[in-house]
Copies of this chain bind each other. A is one copy, B any other.
């Protein structure tokens, strides 16, 4: 998500907060996720940001409205709306599959967003909680990944009319790491939608050009709520390059 934003808007400065002491949000209750999202948003507000992007699909699914209400002078963006729009645009027959965490799927946030945009769409979702651990282990392009993704996708695809879904939303940031495996399992015409990429592009268009041309002095400040070493090593898997330890700071959200 961060990298997609940076590609789309290289002139911006970013404060990146990973609530590593309290992950994974996907297996928490909605009220706990809302509470944690409030803490994180307060931290970012205090850091002086102009806008907040909730890059986590789970937090976007259950906490976006609460955060927008609580911080109503702040632009707060979630990934669900962007993902829903992109899926509808890529689904001529209106058949959209969604994979996400337990909490994202239970919230039906994607389904509601899609139906608002396209009332006749057919949406089916499936929780794939175990892919989160698989991604963090770095096992994303091996036989185990292929079997696990197949085990989740086959029953999901079978819930659609013959022909299967037109598109599939990767409704968890971790799942973009399985895009290649998913591509091998689904027909070539099925669109794979990464809501993080979609949101990054739409934000880059909407953000005013005020920052353009100014080279940021500190492009990204990273903050984590637990051990920095693990944040750095897991972060590297997702960001594609290393996070310098000197740009990382440990913070406490429990007492915010």
Residues on A facing B (Cβ under 8 Å): 21-23, 27-29, 32, 102, 129-130, 132-134, 136-137, 139, 143-144, 147-148, 151, 226-227, 230, 254
Which B residues lie within 8 Å of A139 (CB)?
130, 151
CB distance from A223 to the nearest CB of B (A): 15
The contact sample of 27 A-B pairs, CB cut-off 8 A, is A21-B22, A21-B28, A21-B32, A22-B22, A27-B230, A28-B226, A28-B227, A29-B226, A32-B226, A32-B227, A102-B230, A129-B137, A130-B133, A130-B134, A130-B137, A130-B139, A132-B133, A133-B133, A133-B134, A139-B151, A143-B147, A144-B144, A144-B147, A144-B148, A144-B151, A147-B147, A254-B254
Task: Give chain B residues whose Cβ lies under 8 Å from the Cβ of A230.
Answer: 27, 29, 102
CB neighbours of A227 from chain B (8 A): 28-29, 32
Note all chain B residues with C-beta closer than 8 A to A29: 226-227, 230
Q: How many copies does the complex hold?
A: 2
Other contacts beyond A29-B227, A139-B151, A144-B148: 8, CB < 8 A: A21-B28, A22-B22, A28-B226, A28-B227, A29-B230, A130-B133, A144-B151, A147-B147
> Shortest beta-carbon distance, A208 to chain B, in Å?
40
Q: How far is the CB of A177 from chain B (nearest CB, A)?
A: 14
Name A23's closest neighbour in chain B (CB-CB). B27
Query: Would you give the shortest CB distance from A19 to chain B, in whole angstroms?
Result: 12
3 tightest A-B CB contacts, nearest first: A133-B133, A29-B227, A130-B137
Q: Closest CB-CB distance, A112 to chain B, in whole Å?
A: 21
A133 to B139, CA, bound (A): 13
